[in-house]
Structure 1
Amino acid sequence: MAKHDHNIAVISKITAKNQVTIPKTIREALNVKSSDKIEWELGADGQITVKRTAPEKDDFWKMVDEQEKKYGSIVTPEVDWGEDAGSENFD
């Protein structure tokens, strides 16, 4: 995280679903992107600290997101394999 000579204040609005968009300045300072996780820590004095969590080795959904970005969606049309086995008439 880059150090700054002064504090930087940015404002975000909380949506009706209690969601917040992290401003670009903060995302860049935390070096976070889509699918990364952040940790919110509430101090005894009421101060909030936000930091990027360490990447998890076996974060399955992050791997899925990365693979989908690299290779595309796994959604494919259904294959028509013909009639089910056992429906043949041998008489």
Structure 2
Amino acid sequence: MNLVPSLISTIVRSKITSKNRVTIPKTVRDFLEVGPSDAIEWQIEANSRVTIAAKKQDLWDIVAEQEKKFGNVNTKEIDWGEDIESEGLD
């Protein structure tokens, strides 16, 4: 869904807020195909240029986030107490 052809150079401006925040213009979001919770990478180059690129989450990024939140197979389980038999629940 790239709306801006790769052969055309387009300048899009945005301002830095008093809290040092910048809104990514819709044209850029559409071109990079990014939205809420997606990440972008900022590459700082020696010639005073900064390049941004979409950083799509792959499976291992998601696994790492889930591991931080829930632990992994080596994480000690919580002791929930004695198991209750399920007789008569069939």
**Do Structure 1 and Structure 2 share a fold, with TM-score over 0.5?**
yes
Runs of 4+ in 1 over 6 A off after TM superposition: none
Q: What does residue 56 of structure 2 align with?
A: 54
TM-score when normalising by structure 1:
0.59
Identity of aligned residues (%): 40
Instruction: Please state whether the residue corresponding to 1:27 is helix, strand or coil.
Output: helix
**Structure 1 position 57, deviation (Å):** 2.1
For these two proteins, the number of residue pairs brought into alignment is 60
Structure with higher RCO (Cα < 8 A, 6+ apart) = 2
The match for 2:33 among 22, 31, 34 is: 31
* Cα offsets for 1:17-71 (capped at 9, x unmatched): 00000000000011100011111011111111101113022345xxxxxxxxxxx
TM-score when normalising by structure 2:
0.59
Structure 2: give runs of 5+ residues left out of the alignment: 67-90
